[in-house]
Amino acid sequence: MRRKIKITAVVLMTLVFSLLLSGNVLAQEEDHYGGTLNAALQMSVAHLDSDNSTDSLITAMMNHVYEGLFEFDENLNLTPHLAESYQIGEDGLVYDVKLRENVTMHNGQTMNADDVIASFKRWLELNNGGQLVSPYFDRVEKIDQYNIRFKFKEPYAPFLNILASPVSNQKFVVRAEEVVNEFGSDVIDRHVGTGPYKYEEWVPDQKLVLTRFEDYSPSPREGSFFAGERIPYLDKIVFNFIPDAQVRVSGVQTGQFHFAEEVPRDQYSLFEANPNIDNVIIYPDRMSMLIFNNANPPFDNKYARQAIAYALDFEELGYAMIGNPKFWRLEPALHEEGNPWHVPDAGKGIYGVYDPEKAKELLDRAGYDGSPIVILSGQDNAMERQGAIAIQDQLEKIGVEVELQLFDRPTVVERRAKKEGWHIHLSPFIKIVPDPQIHQGWTGTNKWISNWDSEESREMDQIFAEMLKEVDQEKRYKIVERMEAKLWDAVPYFNILDYSRLHIKRAELKNFKGSWQPFFWNTYLE
């Protein structure tokens, strides 16, 4: 009898302790709610309609208002979001998507298939992502209020990844059908989505104000960057447009702002010494891409292009271009480590193999006649300017005469569009790419500015043609491995290194995750 009493007492004590602990957790969770977050962004935007603009800042801010059927997690794994589940059938020609039920929109109505279909048709017509999909697409069908079927004329493997794409003017978001019908293809200025925050006010060139959506319906999945649960702890988010970097910095130092994007990297140590400020280094973020003009000698020959890879000391370039090694890393692959499309042995045997003598041999093999090599680069961007100067210095060490042409951005864009007048161009690329098929826009016969037209470029075209149709992830990854191998054999361009921007935040802004686009759900003010 005494033993039973003891066991009962232990059980009661355990239950009481659990209730107290649970209550404490709930109280702490409740304490997270409230406050106005002030964020300082470097640029303003013309409007807030992501279907009608290539401005990535629109997408970043309106991610709080709108959500997609699918979102990417921290490692760019595709995750159903407003979609509950999906199935791919008929060898990639049919996508059946089941929607989450009981998702409330900002107008108080429940999201259903009509909202998704209206938004999708608009996206297909206006958005660059939709225009990538459109040539292969047949029709979208409503099965019932929570089930939709997307049908294709021919397989288009990147479809779901493009829907979730973080790249500007690609992502698909669900808008209220009534708003889509009201504005059609015109720029939307009445915003009704499903996101954790609602549109309240936009003052052009000054600020965007969002407020918590009290009836928000979070995803049941675990939160990971853009995927899963989003909790709107903040009463209000104010995005302030502050072009001057030092004004953004001062605002965080004084407490006027809780967050500032793109601050000077050379002030990292100053911020680190301030207990009220946290540094936020963004990775994955940017690539420093060296592009060849493959139309003219000497770089119409792949051995000349290979020679440049061996002639460059990438580590020395990292210090020259970016400086502090906290902000750059050597990475030959187009997709970073952790990304599902990362190829760990990309560039093996050539990337980072500093061998000036081999570079000279390859230039001889290519028939290089000693003519000056023109490097075209931007003078406004420090990475481009300092990188071009450092590359000139390294090439001159192996006897290559180099003519450096540094211009403002508009002039660079104008000149690189021509087939003559330049040999090498240094350019920043966004590292975050939703699908390997996106590289087809840069890589292959006469793509982007490389003027690549040879037997090798047509082999690359075939690789992308196979990748376009293969919906099986494992088989498609094998094709990506072939793409990277061909890329490092033919080298129409290559990544010198990955580098990062620096953001800063106040210490009282908690649970903030540094991402390719800043987001403030799941964050709170202490």
Q: What is the pLDDT of residue 296?
A: 94
Identify whether 341 is part of a domain: yes
Identify whether 150 is part of a domain: yes
Q: Confidence class of residue 168 from pLDDT cuts 50, 70 and 90?
A: confident
One domain, residues 491 and 513 = no
Q: Confidence class of residue 23 from pLDDT cuts 50, 70 and 90?
A: low
Q: What is the pLDDT of residue 268?
A: 96
Question: Comparing 10-24, 307-321, 324-338, 374-388, which segment has the lowest mean pLDDT?
Answer: 10-24
One domain, residues 158 and 202 = yes
| pLDDT, greater one: 438 or 201 | 201
Flag whether pLDDT at 248 surpasses 70.
yes
Residues with Cβ within 8 Å of 419's Cβ and at least 6 positions away in sequence, in order, are: 293, 295, 296, 451
Strand partners, 212: 197
Flag whether pLDDT at 294 surpasses 60.
yes
* Extended beta strands in 424-501, E state: 424-430, 493-499
Q: Confidence class of residue 462 from pLDDT cuts 50, 70 and 90?
A: very high
Question: Percent of the chain at pLDDT above 90?
Answer: 83
One domain, residues 432 and 488 = yes
One DSSP character per residue, 225-237 reads TTBS------SEE
Look up the CATH number of the domain holding residue 261. Answer: 3.40.190.10
Distance (Å, rounded) from C-alpha 224 to C-alpha 521? 11
One domain, residues 360 and 493 = yes
Average pLDDT of 26-39?
82
Sheet bearing 147-152, strands edge to edge: 83-89, 94-99, 147-152, 137-144
Average pLDDT of 92-115?
97
Identify whether 14 is part of a domain: no
For 121-155, write each residue's pLDDT tens digit.
999 999 988 988 999 999 999 999 999 999 999 99
Amino acid occupying residue 281: I
Strand partners, 41: 241
Identify whether 33 is part of a domain: no
Identify whether 6 is part of a domain: no
- Three-class SS state of 210: strand
One domain, residues 325 and 366 = yes
| DSSP H helical ranges for 331-381 | 356-365
What values do phi and psi take at 392, rounded to 5?
-55, -45
Flag whether pLDDT at 30 surpasses 90.
no
Q: What is the pLDDT of residue 55?
A: 83
One domain, residues 249 and 266 = yes
Q: What is the pLDDT of residue 20?
A: 55
Distance (Å, rounded) from C-alpha 253 to C-alpha 259? 10
For 212-241, write each residue's pLDDT tens digit.
999 999 999 999 999 999 999 999 999 999
Matching residue, tokens 């202490």:
526
One domain, residues 224 and 182 = yes
Look up the CATH number of the domain holding residue 344. Answer: 3.10.105.10
Q: What is the pLDDT of residue 4?
A: 41
Pull the structure tokens for residue 276.
């009220």
Identify whether 12 is part of a domain: no
Question: Percent of the chain at pLDDT above 70?
Answer: 94
Q: What is the pLDDT of residue 374?
A: 97
| DSSP H helical ranges for 32-164 | 56-62, 113-126, 128-133, 159-163
Pull the structure tokens for residue 147.
């089930």
Q: What is the pLDDT of residue 433?
A: 84
- What mean pLDDT is reported for the chain? 92
Flag whether pLDDT at 302 surpasses 90.
yes
Flag whether pLDDT at 92 surpasses 50.
yes
Q: What is the pTM of this model?
A: 0.87
Pull the structure tokens for residue 123.
């996206």
| Full residue range of the structural domain in which residue 371 is found | 286-499
Average pLDDT of 450-472?
95
Flag whether pLDDT at 8 surpasses 80.
no
Pull the structure tokens for residue 62.
């309106």
Q: Confidence class of residue 24 from pLDDT cuts 50, 70 and 90?
A: low
Q: What is the pLDDT of residue 409?
A: 86
Distance (Å, rounded) from C-alpha 243 to C-alpha 46? 15
Give me the number of domains the chain comprises: 2
One domain, residues 459 and 516 = no
Q: What is the pLDDT of residue 3?
A: 39
Q: What is the pLDDT of residue 176?
A: 98
Q: What is the pLDDT of residue 19?
A: 54
One domain, residues 214 and 358 = no
Q: Confidence class of residue 6 from pLDDT cuts 50, 70 and 90?
A: very low
One domain, residues 309 and 443 = yes
Identify whether 11 is part of a domain: no
One domain, residues 309 and 261 = no
Q: What is the pLDDT of residue 1?
A: 42
Distance (Å, rounded) from C-alpha 500 to C-alpha 287? 9
Flag whether pLDDT at 487 surpasses 60.
yes
Q: What is the pLDDT of residue 410?
A: 87
For 43-80, write each residue's pLDDT tens digit.
888 899 999 988 888 999 999 999 999 999 998 899 99
Identify whether 27 is part of a domain: no
One domain, residues 125 and 223 = yes
- Can you state the angle between helices 356-365 and 302-311, rounded to 10 degrees? 170
Radius of gyration of the chain (CA): 26
Query: Strands 424-430 and 286-292, how do they pair?
Result: antiparallel
